[in-house]
Amino acid sequence: MSVWSVYVSPEDEKLLKKKIEKIAEKRHWSFSQAVSGLLREHLLEENKLLSDDESWSLMSAKAFFDGYSEKDSVYDQL
């Protein structure tokens, strides 16, 4: 068994917590089982995208810039 700790912003926590609780209730799972199930589904979808180099490059570039704003940039502070 593994224990993971993930930082989530307060806004995302509110959004995610409600969704996860709904899934857990619907499927009669615990909160942690619902989180694991969501991660598993997401990873299966991502794995399909990782099947070739072009998809991997596009996905990693998208992940790098998701949520980016200039005020968050380390380079803006140099």
User: Domain for residue 34, yes or no?
Assistant: yes
| pLDDT confidence tier of residue 68, bands split at 50, 70 and 90 | low
| pLDDT confidence tier of residue 1, bands split at 50, 70 and 90 | low
User: Domain for residue 20, yes or no?
Assistant: no
User: Domain for residue 43, yes or no?
Assistant: yes
User: Domain for residue 50, yes or no?
Assistant: yes
Total domains in the chain come to 1
User: Domain for residue 68, yes or no?
Assistant: no
User: Domain for residue 78, yes or no?
Assistant: no
pTM: 0.53
The range of the structural domain enclosing residue 40 comes to: 30-61
Where is pLDDT greater, at 72 or 56?
Answer: 56
DSSP string across the chain: ---------HHHHHHHHHHHHHHHHHHT--HHHHHHHHHHHHHHHHHHHTTSHHHHHHHHHHHHHTT--GGG-SGGG-
User: Domain for residue 42, yes or no?
Assistant: yes
Instruction: Please give the Cα distance from 16 to 54 (Å, whole number).
Output: 30
- Please state, in angstroms and as integers, the Cα–Cα distance from residue 65 to each residue in 3, 10, 36, 54, 62, following that order: 28, 20, 25, 17, 5
User: Domain for residue 5, yes or no?
Assistant: no
